[in-house]
Amino acid sequence: MSVDDDRPLLSTRGLTKYYGNRIGCADVSFDLYEGEVLAIVGESGSGKSTLLSLLANELAPTCGTVLYRMRDGETRDLATLSESERRLLLRTDWGFVRQDAREGLRMGVSAGGNVGERLMAVGSRHYGRIRATAGDWLQRVEIDTARIDDTPRSFSGGMRQRLQIARNLVTGPRLVFMDEPTSGLDVSVQARLLDLVRSLVREMGLAVIIVTHDLAVARLLSHRIMVMRAGHVIEAGLADQVLDDPREAYTQLLVSSVLAA
């Protein structure tokens, strides 16, 4: 199937999750296309992380659907995938960059091993080629290849996030989920990481769904923004439109709080 396919890569319709009587998220519908970056923004407890887990098929929705266009061109309801099909998607077509890199890396395995494991999961078996590809990716994410045999425990927070990105992108996924990838990093490290992500997204034509409370991150990386509050999407549109001319009072408050900071 051509990357020029004009159908959505991922679609949601009426996606809803309840935790007992509490709303995780409610009635979320949107389409995401190849090469597009969507930022989901909102305060803590707004439902954005719940929504990301639903999209990544890590949570089962109370109701609603998530549809994904597979590499063979068939659009599948993620709820109908077998466990083996779901695992294959996670190893090949999808990446997930976690807020805490310790959750996205194997901390006791070398940097090269972290990248190489994902290659082995898609069938690579030649040790020399796996190591060479891992080394190439370490360079791409600005990690000295001399650190290829070091474990992530010896890395800084920014290096761990860059290693996590290499681990996720080495198999050439089409869709990457990012959960607050710059949270906890100092400003200069954040800037370098965001520049790296932006260049890789453009170079690889990735579709990305990024959850962030940081509107500066959303502006820098995303084409479109969805604003969430209390489990509901209250505003959505082109990034510049939402941030420069917000329609909803809550979005106006978010934007003004950033400007005042």
DSSP code of residue 223 = S
Taking residues 146-170, report their average pLDDT: 95
| Tokens encoding 20 | 């007992």
Sorting pLDDT into bands at 50, 70 and 90, what band is 76?
A: very high
Per the prediction, the chain carries an average pLDDT of: 92
- Cβ pair 153, 122 in contact under 8 A: no
Delimit the domains of the chain by residue range.
1-93+175-261, 103-172
Query: What residue spans of 30-156 are helical by DSSP H?
Result: 48-55, 83-91, 101-104, 111-121, 127-140
> Once rounded to an integer, what is the mean pLDDT over residues 84-103?
92
Average of pLDDT values for 210-233? 94
Residues 134-154 have a mean pLDDT of: 96
pTM to 2 decimal places? 0.93
Domain 1-93+175-261, CATH: 3.40.50.300
φ/ψ of residue 128, rounded to 5 = -60, -45
| Residue 57 confidence (pLDDT) | 92
Q: Is the pLDDT of residue 4 over 60?
A: no
Q: Residue 183 has what pLDDT?
A: 86
**What pLDDT, on a 0 to 100 scale, did the predictor assign at position 2?**
42
- Mean pLDDT in residue range 167-182: 94
Residue 122 has a pLDDT of 77
Q: Residue 110: is its pLDDT beyond 80?
A: yes
* pLDDT one-digit tens code per residue, 227-243: 999 999 999 999 999 99
Residue 88: pLDDT band with limits 50, 70, 90: confident
Label residue 33 exposed, middle or buried (CB < 10 Å: 0-12, 13-18, 19+): middle
Beta carbons of 175 and 35 less than 8 angstroms apart: no
